[in-house]
Amino acid sequence: MVQALGFDTPPRLRHFIDGLEPLLDAGEQRIVERGSALLRELLAHDDWLPQSAALPDPRHYRQYLLYRDPAARFSVLSFVWGPGQSTPIHDHTVWGLVGLLRGAEVSQDYVRGADGTLAPDGPPLRLEAGAVAAVSPALGDIHQVFNAYDDRISIGIHVYGADIGAVDRSIFSADGGRKPFRSGYANIG
Ligand code: FE2
């Protein structure tokens, strides 16, 4: 599986994976707490991301699979923002750790009202390089994310509690309309 990505798992990423694996049965709270610390360690050095997983697309943000657990218990990906790019409002359905390797991103959480519409939940959160945030159905799972910069690339390293590219998820319009969504990966056919 790793060979199909076109690069070997970088040693710093392997160290992160080796630290995460023993936590996977410990429950979401422990995974998020300890996994966030491990991810911050990984983000402390910007010398390991393969160049082929750091390339922006002129039109859309891109997600590259970096590692997929053989049993699909988790996946690690690079999230590459071109200048000014953003996601639609979306959910994840599983726990996720969102870390910044380069640049910065801004995330706006949403909450669903009794009438089904979505409203912003709190102020936008800005993540700078080295910072980690968590998402999950328990923590808050609906948000929209932007590259904080309109003149440069930003890159996140994301970890999810599933093979996230294959998970059935949703994108939303502000009136609460929902469309099925599977994110896939830019480097996997
Ligand atoms: Fe997200």
CATH number of the domain at 129, please: 2.60.120.10
In a domain, 187, yes or no: no
Q: How far is the centre of ligand 1, averaged over its atoms, from the C-alpha of 92 (Å)?
A: 6
In a domain, 91, yes or no: yes
Mean pLDDT of the chain: 94
Expressed as residue numbers, the domain containing 122 is 2-181
Those residues whose C-beta lies under 8 Å from the C-beta of residue 8, and which sit 6 or more positions away, are 2
Domain tally for the chain?
Answer: 1
In a domain, 70, yes or no: yes
Q: How far is the centre of ligand 1, averaged over its atoms, from the C-alpha of 22 (Å)?
A: 25
Q: Report pLDDT digits (tens) over 51-96.
A: 999 999 999 999 999 999 999 999 999 999 999 999 999 999 999 9
Q: How far is the centre of ligand 1, averaged over its atoms, from the C-alpha of 4 (Å)?
A: 25
Q: How far is the centre of ligand 1, averaged over its atoms, from the C-alpha of 90 (Å)?
A: 6
Long-range contacts of 179-187 (CB under 8 A, 24+ apart): 181/90, 183/63, 184/63, 185/63, 185/64, 185/65, 185/77, 186/57, 186/62, 186/63, 186/64, 187/5, 187/6, 187/52, 187/53, 187/64, 187/65
Confidence of residue 115 (pLDDT cuts 50, 70, 90): confident
In a domain, 186, yes or no: no
Q: How far is the centre of ligand 1, averaged over its atoms, from the C-alpha of 158 (Å)?
A: 9
In a domain, 188, yes or no: no
pLDDT at 123 over 70: yes
pLDDT reported for residue 73: 96
What average pLDDT does range 10-22 have in this prediction?
Answer: 98
